[in-house]
Amino acid sequence: MAANAVYYLRTGVKMVWLIDPEARSVTVHQPDRGQLFLEPGQELNGGEVLPGFVCRVDDLFDVPGA
């Protein structure tokens, strides 16, 4: 796990998203849940932390006008 994610989780943050623009992926970290790796074609959601939030991983990397 990335050092930043460990720090945030230890200080009480409920969910950390590490976004990798080169791999076009997202790794979700939550206390006592391990990590979840998401790739293009999958959906990122806020779970219990951000109920109702849903975003396609692909949409995180789309640049308007590019």
| Mean pLDDT to the nearest integer, 10-32 | 95
pLDDT mean over 2-7: 87
For residue 35, give Cα distances in angstroms to 59, 64, 66: 21, 30, 31
Domain residue spans of the chain: 3-60
pLDDT value for 19: 95
pTM, 2 dp: 0.87
Alpha-carbon distance of 15 to 63, in angstroms, equals: 25
